[in-house]
Amino acid sequence: MVKAPATAAAGARTNWGTVFQQALSAAQGVLGPKWNTVSQGATSQIDALNNTAQYIATNKSKMKPDEYKMVVANQKLALQNVLLGYQDINIAVAEETVQAVWTVIGAALKTSAGVAIK
């Protein structure tokens, strides 16, 4: 299991660029040498997931909890599907990668906006 790196302190402004870099590192940690193969597609999708979390943090008062949970679930599934498009990635590795990435991004979302999504 990947431990989420420290993000901004409670009440502080989250640096989503740093969160994105930490999420990329988490994915690289799971994928190892396979990262070189999947990096282009995975990076774009990790960015989308990070942007989704940032959007939720900014707009959570305009959204219902079910809405942001659905959007995150869709983005996580999109990342998993991108990874599964590569021959060397099986479902277990894809799921582990998504979990590692979300551990980082989800922690930042919880810190910045008090929104906890599994």
Rounded Cα–Cα distance for residues 21 and 33 (Å):
18
pLDDT at 52 over 70: yes
Question: Could you read off the pLDDT of 101-115 as tens digits, one per residue?
Answer: 999 999 999 999 999
Question: Could you read off the pLDDT of 55-69 as tens digits, one per residue?
Answer: 999 999 999 999 999
pLDDT at 9 over 50: no
Identify whether 22 is part of a domain: yes
Question: Could you read off the pLDDT of 82-107 as tens digits, one per residue?
Answer: 999 999 899 999 999 999 999 999 99
CA distances from 18 to 10, 61, 78, 105 (A): 16, 24, 22, 10
Identify whether 60 is part of a domain: yes
Output the average pLDDT for the chain.
Answer: 91
Identify whether 10 is part of a domain: no
Rounded Cα–Cα distance for residues 21 and 60 (Å):
23
* 2's tokens: 């990947």
Structural domain count of the chain: 1
Residue 9 host element (H or E):
none
Residue 12: band (very low, low, confident or very high) from pLDDT cuts 50, 70, 90? low
- Residue 63 structural domain: 16-113
